[in-house]
Amino acid sequence: MEHLFGKSAYEGVVIGSVYVENNTTEKDDADDIPVYDIQSEKEKLDMALESAISSLEGLKTGLTGEIEKKDLDIIDAHLLLLKDPVYIKDIEVYIEKNLKRADKAVKDVTEKYLGLFKKIDSPIYRQRELDIKDVSNRLLDILRSDEENHKILDGKILVTREIYPTELLKIYKEKIALKGIVMEYGGETSHVAILAKALKIPTLMGVDNIFAHQWNGDIILDTTEDNSCVILNPDENEIEKYTKKQEKMARRIRKINECANLPAITKDGVEINLYLNIGDSERHSDDDVDKSTVEGVGLLRTELIYMKSSEFPSEEKQLYIYREILKDFSRDQSIVIRTLDIGADKQLSYFKMHSETNPFLGLRGIRFSFENEDIFKIQLRAILRLSNEKNIKIMYPMITNLDEVDRANSILDEVKDELRRENIPFNENIEVGIMVEVPSVVLMAEEFAQKIDFFSIGSNDLTQYILAADRLSETVGDMYDSFNPAVLRGIKIIKDAADKYGKKVSVCGEMAGDPRAVVALLSIGIKDLSMVETSIPMIKALIRNINYQELVLLKNELLKCGNPVKVKNLLKEKIMYLD
């Protein structure tokens, strides 16, 4: 019996047989072509490109309505690459100059691109590297007429070095019941990890030297714990133990689903306000949660609207999109719209940002809006106009000092004056708040509390900046941990300042959708949580099975912990509610 450890992309317990993906490297036999075959090889390339584009477009059409739109965006990125004139021209020139077959040209040109990406130490470029490999593999399969036989994966656990996002989507579309995935590549923020979660496939990532092990017989895949693992050659006792764990998980899932549209009230009668984090389009056919059973939208990420556009969206276009996104929400429900938050890992295709050594500490969030005031004003006009129809609140991102709040509000006042002169109605008493993302806001929380109407804690960035650890990093990713006592103490400081001046405070980062983190946040006194829709049933189940007063007593114990391990162990004891 052997245990191999990795990181969980989606939790589950699976017992079954494996399919080990062939790890042999292809031979480049008979790559050379005569001069007179250059044109025919180019034509083969054109046909392969057309076939690949048609296949991806068909895949997207077939999955629309079944998979959330944001999870299908990877297909658009791959379509753009297949239509990239520079990439295609490089392959054609390679065929001409080196007298090589089209598949050999695709392989070698792609390797050149991958070599360039490898020189850039950035997780963003690591994902781009995977995207181009995905696209090139699709082209190579077509050019070599390799038939994809996904049926062999039905009911199996796939063991592979890495699987590409579009292949995973194709497996889903073909209704192949893939039980689980064990893979060597370990990018928890990758498209594959995101898709595994969306498709609910238990996935273990980051297993070292995956093909160096004997994958015989049944295995056990457990991705439910912090030390997620796969067990090779399990004995009867292990199989019995994990069979019981599977049954326990099934009961837990049933209980969670039963809570999806019930009130978020603790056992001792304390109401907790749950909100949704949404982007440019969160509407799909199988919504898990009735929108009327949440308090509203705690975070509308407007940058996605800009990122999907071919130019800066006009006032009218923004207003139309906001109305479409929010049409399932009533006027009574609170809607927090965050102003444009681009920069760092969020870029616009039609606007070249300045090259910076550390873009995460550069021109992003409100800083970009100040540098481009005309764009900021257009967005504020659209938001203010919408406030005449919905219960809208405005939130500024990446605020670091008090002057920025004053400057942003001054611009907001100018826009209000413009609308008044034009006799365009809006909510004169619209609330304005800030994202808490950087330590300077925590250290001056009381001063900020006197200037704003509400705080919304962006736990992802707050953790990143407090711990000086890039949450996308493959090298220091283990240091990024929202359960670090420093992060919890920072959140408590914000909560205390908000309470002192009668201001609202919520959490809209990933902590809000993590059961252990929710226990910690409730103990600190935060009762407003905003999360992705898929997290709502689980968090409601947690809330409905705990006593709020017991958690309040936990606060001091948590804040005295010296490291995140102790914090997690304390919290783990409090979420056995569904076992």
Residues with catalytic function: 191, 508
Q: Quick one: tokens of 141? A: 């399969």
Q: 402-421 vs 373-386: helix axis angle to the nearest 10? A: 60
Intra-chain end-to-end CA distance of the chain, in Å: 27
Q: Quick one: tokens of 439? A: 């330590």
The beta strand positions in 319-403, using DSSP E, are 334-338, 391-396
Rounded (5°) CA angle 303-195-243: 140
The beta strand positions in 409-565, using DSSP E, are 431-436, 454-457, 504-507, 528-531
Q: Quick one: tokens of 106? A: 């695709």
Of the candidates 429, 509, 432, 497, the one whose C-alpha atom is nearest the C-alpha of residue 464 is: 509
Contact at 8 Å (CB) between 143 and 48?
Answer: yes
3-state secondary structure of 287: coil
3-state secondary structure of 16: strand
CA dist 259 and 187 (Å) reads 32
Q: List, as one string, the DSSP characters of 90-156.
A: HHHHHHHHHTB-HHHHHHHHHHHHHHHHHTS--HHHHHHHHHHHHHHHHHHHHHTTPPP-GGGGTT-
Beta bridge partners of 431: 393
Eight-class DSSP state of 362: S
Please state, as a whole number, how many other Cβ atoms lie within 10 Å of the Cβ of residue 143: 22
Contact at 8 Å (CB) between 106 and 45?
Answer: yes
Please state, as a whole number, how many other Cβ atoms lie within 10 Å of the Cβ of residue 102: 27
3-state secondary structure 71-94: HHHHHHHHHHHHCCHHHHHHHHHH
Please state, as a whole number, how many other Cβ atoms lie within 10 Å of the Cβ of residue 578: 18
CA dist 176 and 161 (Å) reads 20
CA dist 305 and 324 (Å) reads 12
Please state, as a whole number, how many other Cβ atoms lie within 10 Å of the Cβ of residue 494: 25
Locate all alpha helices (DSSP H) within 349-484, ordered by sequence.
366-371, 373-386, 402-421, 439-443, 445-449, 459-467
